[in-house]
C-alpha cells in the first residue's frame, strides 16, 4: 500500500467515514480442577459439568461484566497426587491465567494447591467437596472457600445416626490421607462421646492388590458392622468387597466419599441395609437444580453436583460484585454475595443476580445447597441420610 493510500485511510477514519473491524474482548478464563483420574473419577464428570452449567448460564445471560463470556479450562487433580495437582494448578494460574478456580476436590490435593499455588498467587479457590476439618484453619489469606461442609460436622451427624439405629459397636477403616483420617477422627470422637464402642481402627492404602490383612484385623475385633471412610472407585470399595468375600462383614456404614452408583454396580454382593451420609438438602433450590441438571444430561442429586454449581456461581457473582476480573476483588466479594443481606438467588437465576449487582444492589445466593458461608468461608451445610435397598441408594431423611 502506498504512502498516499495509507494517509487517505487515516483521514477517512478520523472523519468517521470508515469503521475499523471490531475485535471481541478475550473471554474470562475460569479453572476447574478435579480428579478426572483417580479414586473418585466416576463422580467428577458430573461435578465439572454442573460447574460449567453455572458458568454457561452467566455467559449466556449477557449480564456478566458488560456482556463478557467465560472460557473454562479443566485440569486433573488426580485426587491423591499432591505434586501432580500442584503442577496442574500452576498451569491454570500462570499459563492459562484463570481469574478463579472451582475446586479442588479431595482434601489433600486441595490443601496442597491452596498452600503452594493459589494463596501465594492470590487466586480464589472454592471447593465443592474438600471436607477435611484441617482446611478450616489453613492460612488462606481469604482466598479459600468451600460449599461442602466440614467433616467435623459429618462425623457428629453420622455418629448420631449410627447410635439411633441401635448399633453400639463398630470397626472403622479409613483411606490413609487427610480426608480419611480427618473424617475417621471426627466420627470416632463423636461416637465414643455418645457412648459407642470402636473395637478396631485400621487405615488402608489406595491402589493395593490385596486388602485381606486389613479386613482380617478388623474381623478379629468382633464388631459386626464396618464403617468405611474411603473412596468409591478405590480402596474403600475393595475393603467392602474383601469383607463380603471373606464373610467378615455384610453391613457397612459409609460417608460421602463412598457414595456413587459405581459402588452398587461394581460390588459383587448384597449391600442392602448399608447406610451413611452425603452432603445434601431437600430445599426448593435443590429441586430446581436437579431439574436443571437432568435437562443438561447431569444426574440430578448426584454427589457434590449441587455444591459444584454453587461454587461456580459464587465465583461469577463475586466477580460481578467486584466489577472486574481482578483476583483480589473477586476474593473480597465472595462472602458478600453468599450471605444476607440481599435478594435471595436460586439456581437458574444467575442472570437476575448479575443484573442486580450491576445496578449496585445486593444478593444473597441460596443456590442448590442453601449456601451460607460462616467463619472464613465454611459451608454450614446439610446432610442426606441414605440407605441401600437392593441396587439403589434411597433417601431416609435430611439433617
Looking at residue 9, its pLDDT comes to 39
Domain boundary among the residues 233, 250, 278 is at 278
Same-domain check for residues 53 and 101 = yes
User: E strands, the chain, where?
Assistant: 28-34, 70-76, 100-103, 124-127, 144-146, 169-175, 197-204, 226-229, 252-254, 275-279, 343-345, 363-365, 373-374, 378-379, 383-389, 392-398
Burial (Cβ within 10 Å: 0-12, 13-18, ≥19) of residue 296: middle
Same-domain check for residues 92 and 164 = no
- Which range of residues forms the domain containing residue 238? 152-278
Same-domain check for residues 63 and 174 = no
pTM for the full predicted model: 0.89
Looking at residue 141, its pLDDT comes to 97
Same-domain check for residues 122 and 165 = no
Beta carbons of 127 and 153 less than 8 angstroms apart: no
* Tens digits of residue pLDDT in 235-289: 999 999 999 999 999 999 999 999 999 999 999 999 999 999 999 999 999 999 9
Domain boundary among the residues 232, 260, 278 is at 278
Burial (Cβ within 10 Å: 0-12, 13-18, ≥19) of residue 52: buried
pLDDT band at 118 (very low <50, low <70, confident <90, very high): very high
- Asked if residue 196 is part of any domain, the answer here is yes
Looking at residue 25, its pLDDT comes to 57
Rounded to whole angstroms, the Cα distance separating 274 from 387 reads: 6
pLDDT band at 375 (very low <50, low <70, confident <90, very high): confident
Q: How many CB atoms are closer than 10 A to CB 232?
A: 25
Beta carbons of 126 and 334 less than 8 angstroms apart: yes
DSSP state at residue 22: P
* Tens digits of residue pLDDT in 26-38: 799 999 999 999 9
- Asked if residue 11 is part of any domain, the answer here is no
Same-domain check for residues 157 and 266 = yes
- Asked if residue 9 is part of any domain, the answer here is no
Same-domain check for residues 221 and 191 = yes
Residue 399 has pLDDT above 60, yes or no: yes
Same-domain check for residues 308 and 235 = no
- The values of phi and psi at residue 167, to 5°, are -95, 110
CA proximity to 309, closest of 110, 69, 55, 28: 55
- Asked if residue 342 is part of any domain, the answer here is yes
**Cα torsion 363, 366, 367, 372: sign:** positive
CATH number of the domain where residue 137 is located: 3.40.50.2300
Rounded to whole angstroms, the Cα distance separating 100 from 118 reads: 9
Query: What total of structural domains would you count in the chain?
Result: 2
- The values of phi and psi at residue 7, to 5°, are -60, -35
- Asked if residue 396 is part of any domain, the answer here is no
**Cα torsion 221, 251, 106, 265: sign:** positive
Looking at residue 390, its pLDDT comes to 87
pLDDT band at 381 (very low <50, low <70, confident <90, very high): confident
Residue 6 has pLDDT above 60, yes or no: no
Same-domain check for residues 177 and 132 = no
- Asked if residue 203 is part of any domain, the answer here is yes
Q: What is the mean pLDDT of the chain?
A: 93
Domain boundary among the residues 212, 244, 278 is at 278
CA proximity to 276, closest of 252, 250, 247, 260: 252
* Tens digits of residue pLDDT in 86-109: 999 999 999 999 999 999 999 999
* Tens digits of residue pLDDT in 143-155: 999 999 999 999 9
Residue 378 has pLDDT above 50, yes or no: yes
Residue 20 has pLDDT above 90, yes or no: no
Looking at residue 105, its pLDDT comes to 97
* Tens digits of residue pLDDT in 275-324: 999 999 999 999 999 999 999 999 878 899 999 999 999 999 999 999 99
Beta carbons of 49 and 296 less than 8 angstroms apart: yes
Count CA within 13 A, CB hemisphere, residue 60. Answer: 9
Pairing of strands 343-345, 70-76: unpaired
Same-domain check for residues 158 and 273 = yes
Amino acid at each position: 500500500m502506498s504512502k498516499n493510500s495509507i494517509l487517505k485511510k487515516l483521514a477517512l477514519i478520523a472523519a468517521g467515514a470508515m469503521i475499523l473491524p471490531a475485535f471481541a474482548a478475550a473471554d474470562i478464563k475460569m479453572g476447574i480442577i478435579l480428579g478426572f483420574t483417580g479414586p473418585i473419577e466416576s463422580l467428577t464428570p458430573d461435578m465439572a459439568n454442573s460447574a460449567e452449567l453455572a458458568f454457561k448460564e452467566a455467559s449466556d445471560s449477557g449480564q456478566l461484566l458488560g456482556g463478557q463470556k467465560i472460557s473454562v479450562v479443566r485440569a486433573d487433580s488426580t485426587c491423591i497426587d499432591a505434586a501432580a495437582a500442584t503442577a496442574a494448578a500452576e498451569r491454570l494460574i500462570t499459563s492459562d491465567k484463570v481469574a478463579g478456580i472451582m475446586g479442588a476436590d479431595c482434601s489433600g490435593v486441595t490443601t496442597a494447591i491452596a498452600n503452594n499455588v493459589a494463596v501465594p498467587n492470590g487466586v480464589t479457590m472454592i471447593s465443592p467437596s474438600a471436607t477435611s476439618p484441617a482446611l478450616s484453619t489453613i492460612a488462606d489469606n481469604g482466598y479459600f472457600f468451600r460449599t461442602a461442609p466440614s467433616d467435623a460436622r459429618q462425623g457428629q451427624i453420622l455418629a448420631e445416626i449410627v447410635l439411633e439405629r441401635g448399633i453400639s459397636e463398630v470397626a472403622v477403616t479409613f483411606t490413609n490421607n487427610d480426608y480419611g483420617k480427618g473424617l475417621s477422627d471426627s466420627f470416632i470422637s463423636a461416637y465414643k462421646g455418645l457412648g459407642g464402642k470402636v473395637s478396631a481402627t485400621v487405615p488402608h492404602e489406595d491402589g493395593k492388590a490385596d486388602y485381606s490383612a486389613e479386613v482380617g484385623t478388623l474381623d478379629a475385633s468382633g464388631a459386626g458392622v464396618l464403617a468405611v471412610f474411603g473412596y468409591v472407585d478405590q480402596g474403600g470399595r475393595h475393603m467392602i468387597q474383601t469383607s463380603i468375600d471373606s464373610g467378615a462383614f455384610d453391613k457397612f456404614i459409609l460417608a460421602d466419599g463412598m457414595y456413587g452408583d459405581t459402588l452398587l454396580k461394581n460390588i459383587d454382593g448384597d449391600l442392602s441395609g448399608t447406610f451413611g451420609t452425603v452432603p445434601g438438602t431437600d430445599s426448593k433450590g435443590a429441586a430446581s437444580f436437579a431439574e436443571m441438571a437432568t435437562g443438561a444430561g447431569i444426574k440430578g442429586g448426584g454427589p457434590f453436583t449441587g455444591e459444584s454449581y454453587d461454587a461456580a456461581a459464587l465465583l461469577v457473582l463475586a466477580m460481578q460484585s467486584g466489577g472486574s476480573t481482578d483476583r483480589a476483588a473477586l476474593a473480597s466479594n465472595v462472602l458478600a454475595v453468599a450471605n444476607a443481606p440481599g435478594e435471595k438467588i436460586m439456581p437458574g437465576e444467575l442472570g437476575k443476580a448479575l443484573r442486580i449487582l450491576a445496578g449496585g444492589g445486593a444478593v444473597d445466593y441460596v443456590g442448590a445447597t442453601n449456601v451460607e458461608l460462616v467463619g472464613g468461608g465454611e459451608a454450614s451445610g446439610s446432610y442426606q441420610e441414605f440407605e441401600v435397598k437392593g441396587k439403589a441408594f434411597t433417601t431416609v431423611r435430611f439433617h
